[in-house]
Structure 1
Amino acid sequence: MAYSSDIIVIGSGIGGLTAAALLQERGFSTLTFEKNSYPGGSCAAFKHKGYTFDAGASVFYGFGEDKSSGTLNMHTRIFRKLGIDVPVISDPVQIHFHMPDGFDIPAYYEKEKFLGTLMERFPNEKEGIVAFYKELGSVHDILSSLPPGSLEDPIHILNVGSRHLGKILSLALKTFQSMGKSARKYIKDEELLKFIDMEAYSWAVQDAVSTPLVNAGICLADRHHGGINYPVGGAGVIPAALCDGIKKFGGAVEFGCDVEEILLRNGRAIGVRLSNGDVHTAKAVISNATVWDTFNRLVKDARYNVSETKFLRAPSWFQLYLGVDAGVIPEGFHMHHILVDDWARYNEPGGTIYFSAPSVLDPTVAPEGKHVVHAFVTDEVDHWKTYQRGEEKYKQAKERYGASVIRRTEKILPGLSDAVEVKIFATPFTHERYLNRYKGSYGPLLYPGQNVLLKPQNRTVVKDLYAVGDSTFPGQGVIAVTYSGVSCASYIARKLGNPLSYL
């Protein structure tokens, strides 16, 4: 059979681009199809009236320079392998949390400074604070020494296990633990435990009890090692650099190409059909779509359908992209913030405000004398089901809801309403339409108490069809989906006879 390429990738999310770039560099031919005119999926950026807005993600791990780090500084290692330079700016604070009853704490890059601030508010929990964050650090220490690869590849498991058996066994035990239950072993103060819930909710949109300890060890320990870094020019620089890497080694990323169907023959994936009718074939197909979009929309055989209830479905978002007068942002204002008005509803739709101002670190993303503001809250498509996209009532509803979020944000930025000069609002409908994501969801989550290894890996029930992105292990977040891309590329490369070298 004559193939269009060795591997076809559906969607230019970070997981798919990472897999394509590493496979292309290794000598495999890759062809990536993206429905939009720009790459990145939820980690994209767009320009409007002189502003560069991050479409979604803006907190980035993985750019550390520690050469002994294995799993965690993957962006640095990947771009070094591709020979691509991605300049970044170090952020001294991961997130500045603003919570009820005056509980206000920045999560500093400097670990001792962060822990000291917590101890100052909770002097009776000093020992518990040290012990809990030490446990997160122990997860980081294990992961940072293990090279990334596929957990489905027995050769990789054998290689890593023979060199790091003790660490592998320790990590295996930790996969049965949750972040919240671990915290409760050491800490009793309810307000502090609520903050730890917010530490989890900030990226996992689940409380700490529902969040695997291993995931927490990646995000909440690495901020004190590799740190948080912002790419110069905005979030879209990361997928653009991956595309450059793919093209550098002879691969192709085709924009404006919407995949309509994954083609199957005798139970295996053989290629894709685009919405324009074009057919492309490959030895392997990688889907960057959610598990529901992959098997309920792209794979037409109903025998492979995946019930929505197989996983918890993470919410979608209502997002505000604002261009504001620079005078509203005070000197020393941090880039990332989370605002909780009421503990009783922090995990309800709209209950927590996520907020970033990238231009305080990188002035290039806003015109002179202006700042970029990106605010968002969890939301659901059901909230908007009575409206039709484009109708006046829909526009008015977006304006009202956006104005309410701006007013709430004035708790940390007084005068924001009067400083807004440019505004764009995006509902779950927007996410569903632009990202081809089922109900605009942030992706599938494990049920509380499930082992993190129960998250789907890269192989699927369809032979030669693979998955990357937040539907696969380890889950949500840019560094997590990057891992899924590395893992997938590693597995496919070995299967096709030319294994990747470790990063």
Structure 2
Amino acid sequence: MGKSIIIIGSGIGGLTAGCYAVKNNYKVDIFEMHSSPGGVCTSWNRKGYTFDYCIHHLAGTKPGTLFYSMWEELGAMPSEVIFPEALTSVEDFKKNVFNVYYDFDKLMKEMAMIAPNDLEVIEKYIKALKTASKTNILEIGLWKTKHWLKNFFHIMRLMKWGKVTMKQFGEKFSNPIMRRFFPTIQYDWEYIPMLLHLNIHAGVSEKKYGWYKGGSLKFSQNIAKKFRDLGGNLNLNAKVSKILTRNDTAVGVKLEDGTEHYADYVISNAYEYNTVNKLLNGKYMTKEMKAKYQKPGEKMVMGLHVFFGVDRDLSNEPPSIILFLEEPIEIAGEKRHKLDLELYGFDSSMAPDGKGVIKAIFDTEYTYWKELYKDKAKYIEKKEEIVEKIIEVIDKRFPKINEQIEVVDVTTPVTAERFTASSRPYGDKVTFSTKEMLKTMFNKPSTLPGLTKFYMIGQSVGGAGIPGCAAMGKNVIKKICKADKIKFSS
């Protein structure tokens, strides 16, 4: 065994870095604060129901693609993958329904039936999906010269869609139902570039994206098993309190129990703010970081999850429903005009036979929940109030479901902070632009000026979702191997 590496956090980036480090003859210790690996890529069981926190559309489910090869190297593939028939169903209580099928022909017919006078717009949309199906922009960070040559013209044809939001494209329809429904079809994110939606939708149609049967924790556990099988040490319930430095070089970590552990390199897969401000005490903070951290953000995208385990067969329901409400309801201090529901009836492993899981997801504000948590009774009361409001609405869509609910769970930004130390955003509010999206897809590990033998990886430093964080973990080991004059092996 060669040199040693300590990794803080067993999120997907940390686990991936650990696997590739061991494969390249490094001695690796991962220190994880929680009792299970995966970070936010997790799920949990309540009375036989699996409540999933993370995966929506996993990239890399098709053999022969770059991400699939990476998952194969990490022990996550081969595994059973499910490809639902539709992305979502957008509905209202006037019985208007838009089923967003992955099959392009079925989607074309569905849209033409709803908006027969908008055939030109519909054809333009389907044509864009077909173009997107010929490439996968999420893999850009893994491309070599041959991949750029193969994909260049497809990428150029898609770039114009980076300048159009879902909302803007929806306004091209003359049909009022389609104008209202279309902008919401991708996670109810109306202001993202069309490019992101096209890539995901086309990816599933080509079976490049899908649902990992069993959910997020199973996915994380499979990679954690690979890490251990390779010879890596995964230390759970081991919270790091300090990164140890000597002569401006990272040399190890100190745990909350007081023990110190040393290595030739330290990689942090922890939340960036905590790494820089707490574990390093702000010593190596850049001017840009100082400015960013003086601007705490509020909006937590998909920060509030409300789960229901129901004694009801959901196998014939769509995997997702965007439900327009008759009257807005107040959830966590904000008026909501729609419910974003996820239904897991397509995966029989997520609930006991004949039963199902429904999840309602909301953007929410960090301070709202942080303040509530100071009074645990009020915090619990507010969660219960939200549950009752959601039940009242979904009972109209699923009659008598209020009598079929067997278990409920609610996670807030405080929940995520307690279990993973992930917290609020910082810096100016950034529009989800194509430029920012493409920037993250190169999956470059981050460093701090003045500190050597240290790297940061993960979503908080620019990892683009699960595959992006994994690619960043792979890239950091490539970087270390290059510094040590070792030929990288995958």
* TM above 0.5: yes
Aligned residue number for residue 455 of structure 2: 466
| The one of 311, 325, 329 aligned to 1:341 | 325
Q: Which amino acid aligns with 1:438?
A: S
CA offsets per residue over residues 444-484 of structure 1, 9 Å max, x none?
97335572245484223344433333234453x43443444
CA offsets per residue over residues 214-238 of structure 1, 9 Å max, x none?
5334323212112553333332110
Pairwise CA RMSD of aligned residues? 3.9
8 Å CA contact 2:8–2:31 kept in 1: the answer is yes
Q: Report the secondary structure of 2:58's partner residue.
A: coil
- How many pairs align? 477
Equivalents in 2 of 1:410, 1:232: separation in Å?
28
Between stretches 316-325 and 248-257, larger displacement belongs to: 316-325
For structure 1, the residue ranges without an aligned partner over 5 or more in a row are 150-155
8 Å CA contact 2:5–2:266 kept in 1: the answer is yes
Equivalents in 2 of 1:136, 1:257: separation in Å?
46
Equivalents in 2 of 1:137, 1:294: separation in Å?
42
Is 2:91 the counterpart of 1:98?
A: yes
**TM-score normalised by structure 2 residue count:** 0.82
Aligned residue number for residue 366 of structure 1: 351
* Structure-2 change in CA distance of 1:112 and 1:437 (3 Å): same
8 Å CA contact 2:303–2:361 kept in 1: the answer is yes
Q: Which amino acid aligns with 2:309?
A: G
Q: Report the secondary structure of 2:50's partner residue.
A: strand
| The one of 258, 278, 282 aligned to 1:277 | 258
Provide the identity percentage: 23
Equivalents in 1 of 2:258, 2:154: separation in Å?
47
| The one of 391, 405, 408 aligned to 1:420 | 405
Aligned residue number for residue 197 of structure 1: 183
Q: How does 1:327-476 map to 2 (within 5 A)?
A: 329=313, 332-341=316-325, 352-358=338-344, 360-388=345-373, 391-439=376-424, 446-447=430-431, 449=433, 451-452=435-436, 453-455=438-440, 457-462=444-449, 463-473=452-462, 475=464
| The one of 114, 131, 136 aligned to 1:143 | 136
8 Å CA contact 2:169–2:183 kept in 1: the answer is no
Query: 1:246 Cα shift?
Result: 0.8
Between stretches 240-249 and 373-382, larger displacement belongs to: 373-382
Equivalents in 2 of 1:344, 1:392: separation in Å?
26
8 Å CA contact 2:171–2:179 kept in 1: the answer is no
Is 2:245 the counterpart of 1:290?
A: no
Equivalents in 2 of 1:443, 1:100: separation in Å?
39
8 Å CA contact 1:14–1:481 kept in 2: the answer is yes
Q: Which amino acid aligns with 1:37?
A: S
Q: Which amino acid aligns with 2:362?
A: V
Equivalents in 2 of 1:20, 1:241: separation in Å?
13
Query: 1:248 Cα shift?
Result: 1.7
8 Å CA contact 2:298–2:367 kept in 1: the answer is no
Aligned residue number for residue 241 of structure 2: 260
| The one of 61, 66, 73 aligned to 1:64 | 61
Is 2:485 the counterpart of 1:485?
A: no
**TM-score normalised by structure 1 residue count:** 0.80
| The one of 182, 190, 200 aligned to 1:207 | 190
| The one of 6, 9, 13 aligned to 1:8 | 6
Equivalents in 1 of 2:247, 2:328: separation in Å?
52
8 Å CA contact 2:87–2:201 kept in 1: the answer is no
Equivalents in 2 of 1:193, 1:279: separation in Å?
59
Equivalents in 2 of 1:132, 1:470: separation in Å?
30
